[in-house]
Structures are given as structure tokens and as C-alpha cells.
Amino acid sequence: GSPASLSRFRGALVAGVLGDCIGGEFEGAEEVPMESVLQHLNSLDDESKGNGILEYSDDTAMARCVVQSLLTRAGFDEQDMARRFAKEYSASPGRGYGSGVIQVLKKLSSPQLSDVYQPARDQFNGRGSFGNGGAMRAAPFALAFPEMADVTRFSRLGAMLTHSCSLGYNGAVLQALAVHLSLQGALNLPQQFISRLITEMEEVEDSEATRSDARILKEAEKPFCERLHRVRDMMDRSKVSIEEVISELGNGIAALHSVPTAIFCVLHCLQPRECLPEKYGGLERTIAYSLALGGDTDTIACMAGAIAGAHYGIEAVPQLWIKCCEGAEDADMNAERLHMLYHQSSPGG
């Protein structure tokens, strides 16, 4: 598809929802045999089974707030976005939110609150959250802003409403940048794609806050860059086991242990893989592979789904999967509206 085509927007938003809904089945599982993943996916393809709807979790609930806010305000408005997060949580608190972020969402609903970033700063004794909750909802920023500098700036601010630790909000920036590049067709040249991400993240992580957080958490000076170098090394290997992916990149709830992993899933599944059915296209491979890692499967599949969907486009997304997932059709309609907003904001648009 052509860069920033409607098909890519629809693919990104819809496949993100699918990753969340389909991945929810295995969230928190330590080991997920590929056989169980394929069984789960086959059951979606089997219309005769009359499957119920797979519900979305916090990943999609919050991404929907981001989308609605960006569309309604025609740009980033922190007050509006914060209000939407709080309202969504109080309407549907049972979507599997992280145990820490719940405190932020409750405080955000207070009419007395003057600084919407303060509740996030108070988390974890003032250190802020490094969870992947900012990253899991970051894709829409790439679909609203054509300029990379805006994607970086607003995905960071959007994440900081709940995640004030740099290892949380920089994960959101990385996820948004990966979707941004994928939307431009950058995954056609995977080596350049990963090099671009490393170059951008070198700049993003060049800050005192990052250095200080990394020191406290005993991570490399530029934690996401260091992980992206690992992704690049692993891309070059002819065979990589699931165990190696987990030990090198992680599959956990921290942004550092899940965003680079999601990017690896997309890159690894650009080609057919022995462990996956031949009939699968790249998008199906990406989602299946993300689930087989276990751990934070809904979130890793949601992030990988958004990046892969922006690459393959909506035509690659199985219709039967869309039908099974709550919120997928809404996402499809919203993608069209984001596509319009994006092109209105493009130079000459």
C-alpha cells in the first residue's frame, strides 16, 4: 500500500484491538505452547462454534479515550484526555487495569485537581510508573500527527498522564514511532526501520530524567536503545527460540520488557516461520507469535498488532477475527476519521 493510506490506518487501529482481545486469553501465563495459541485462533475461524465476543481490556479502553480525545479536540488536549481516562475507568473498572494506575485514574476524576500530571508523579513514592500502560495506548498518536516531532511530543505527554517514569513514557514514544514509521512503509526495509528507531530513541533518551531513572533502576544509560540493539542482533540470527526472546527482551508488564519485544515480533514475522501455519499471512503470524511468548500477551499482541497492521493494511486482517472482537468495528470507523485528521494536518493537506 501507499504510505499513510487509509488501509494502513484501519489495519493499525483494528489489529491493535484484535491483539488485546485475542491476547487476553493468555495474559499472565508463564508458558503458552504454540499448539494452544493455534487452537485459540482456529476457534475464531470456526463460525459453526458460535463463539462469544472476546472483550477488550484496559489497553483498548484507554486507546479509545486517546482516539476520541484527539478527534474531538483535533489535537492533543491533556485536560480532555485525562477526563476521558477517569470517566472510562469509573464506568468500566473491571477491564483489568494495572494495580497502580487505578489510583491515578481515581484522582484524575477529582474536580479539584489543578495539575493533571500530578497524580502520575505521585506514583510509586514519587518515582512514577514504568508499566507499559502508556505504550499500550500510544498507536493513535501516530495516526493523528503526520510530523514525527509531534508524534514524539504528544505520545510522551499522553503517557505522562499516568506514567511519569521515563521508562514508562519513553516506551510509549517508541511504540508511537514504530507505528509512525510502519505507516510510511518503512518495514519494507527492516534493517533501516530498526536503525531509524535507534537513531530517534538516541535523541529521545538523551535526557537527565532518563539517565537518573536508568541509574536508579540499574539499567543501561539509554535503556530502550540498548534493547533495540538486542532486537537488531536477534533479527540477524537465522534461528531464535521463544526462550531466547523472553530472556533477551522480556515479556512482562514493564514498558522496557514489552515494547522492544513487540517490535521484535513484527520483524521476526515478516517472513514465514516453521512454527506457524503456512496459510498464515504476516499479520496472523505476528499475533500468533506474540501470544506464544506468554506473559503480558494482550499488551504485546496489541502493540505488535498496531505496528503490523500499519504495515500490512486492513486487507490482511481476518474478517472472522474482527467479528469476534469487541470494539474492532468501532476502531475501523475511527481509523477513517483519524485518517482525515492526519491528512488535514499534513503540509499541503
Interface ranges with Mg ion (CB under 5 A): 57-59, 96, 296, 298-299
- 132 counts as binding ligand F2R under rule CB under 6 A: yes
What x-and-dash track marks residues 240-259 binding ligand F2R by CB under 6 A?
Answer: -------------x------
Comparison of 58 and 150: residue with beta carbon closer to ligand F2R = 58
Comparison of 133 and 309: residue with beta carbon closer to ligand F2R = 133
- 93 counts as binding ligand F2R under rule CB under 6 A: no
Angle at 299 between CA 14 and CA 139, to 5 degrees: 50
Residue 223 touches which member of Mg ion, ligand F2R, none, C-beta under 5-8 Å by kind? none
Q: How far apart are CA 158 and CA 70, in angstroms?
A: 10
8-state DSSP, 254 = B
- 117 counts as binding ligand F2R under rule CB under 6 A: no
Which grid coordinates belong to 23?
491476547
Residue 284 touches which member of Mg ion, ligand F2R, none, C-beta under 5-8 Å by kind? none
Burial category of 71 from C-beta neighbours within 10 Å (exposed 0-12, middle 13-18, buried 19 and up):
middle
8-state DSSP, 97 = -
The CB density around residue 91, as the number of other CB atoms within 10 Å, is 9
Q: How far apart are CA 254 and CA 262, in angstroms?
A: 12
Choose which of 27, 200, 205, 284 interacts with ligand F2R (CB under 6 A).
27
Amino acid at 81: M
Comparison of 69 and 164: residue with beta carbon closer to ligand F2R = 164
Give the up-direction half-sphere exposure of residue 134: CA atoms within 13 A in the CB hemisphere. 32
Quickly tell me which residue has 491493535 as its cell.
16
- 294 counts as binding ligand F2R under rule CB under 6 A: no
- 171 counts as binding ligand F2R under rule CB under 6 A: no
- 19 counts as binding ligand F2R under rule CB under 6 A: no
What x-and-dash track marks residues 195-234 binding ligand F2R by CB under 6 A?
Answer: ----------------------------------------
The dihedral through the CA atoms of 141, 142, 145, 151 has a sign that is: positive
Residue 140 touches which member of Mg ion, ligand F2R, none, C-beta under 5-8 Å by kind? none
- 178 counts as binding ligand F2R under rule CB under 6 A: no
Which grid coordinates belong to 5?
493510506
Choose which of 21, 54, 59, 156 interacts with ligand F2R (CB under 6 A).
59
Residue 295 touches which member of ligand F2R, Mg ion, none, C-beta under 5-8 Å by kind? none
Angle at 14 between CA 9 and CA 20, to 5 degrees: 135
Q: Angle of helix 297-312 relative to helix 166-183, nearest 10 degrees?
A: 30
- 6 SS3 class: helix
- 101 counts as binding ligand F2R under rule CB under 6 A: yes
Stretch that binds ligand F2R, among 123-131, 177-185, 283-291, 303-311 (CB under 6 A): 123-131
- The CB-of-70 to ligand F2R minimum distance in angstroms stands at 19
Contact 200, 177 (CB under 8 A): yes
Q: How far apart are CA 303 and CA 18, in angstroms?
A: 10
Report the interface residues with ligand F2R, using CB under 6 A.
Answer: 27-28, 57-59, 96-101, 124, 127, 129-133, 136, 165, 253, 296, 298-299
